[in-house]
Amino acid sequence: REDVYIGKKSITRPIRSVYKGNFVDVTFATGGAGVCVSSALARKMEPWCLAGKLAETADDLRLPDDCTLGFVIINKLGGNLTTSPLFHSHLEGLNNVKMASLRKQVSLSFSTKNVININHGNSKNQVFNATIDPTRFMSLHCFLFETAEFCE
């Protein structure tokens, strides 16, 4: 019922752009880590985001979709970004995410050489080698859901 926008910034300062002839500073949560937007806030975003309008707004803003979401929420609707350290994009050192905290994370991303570190298995957890599981998501799945059929 409340306006909620949660995510993690990929950069510490706003990005400056031009929107319909005016300079604007845009603060946003990186889409690569994922974001959470409440349904109440999403309904308010409709004039700029519904039925193809997100692409139009992004073109007018000259920035990607995640920046555009932040622009609509903060600049147009007066909302705020609640930052959370539980969102992770490929732009940060994912090997620094501790195994003991994996169950608490909201999102995890990856790039070819930037993956979470799952380095041990036991009788309940299957850890696949990096050739079979280069993203480490199969191993993460087995860590989180140890009774999954392919984990045994």
Q: How many CA atoms lie within 13 A of 134 on its CB side?
A: 4
Q: Which residues pair with 16 in a beta bridge?
A: 25
Positions annotated as catalytic residues are 66
* 8 A C-beta contact, residue 26 and residue 71: yes
Counting every residue, how long is the chain?
152
Q: What is the pTM of this model?
A: 0.83
pLDDT(124) > 80:
no
Domain ranges of the chain: 5-83, 94-144
* pLDDT tens digits along 54-98: 999 999 999 999 999 999 999 999 999 999 999 998 888 888 898
Over the chain, what is the mean pLDDT? 90
46 touches 92 (CB < 8 A): no
Instruction: Kindly state the average pLDDT of the residues 35-49.
Output: 97
Residue 128 confidence (pLDDT) above 80: yes
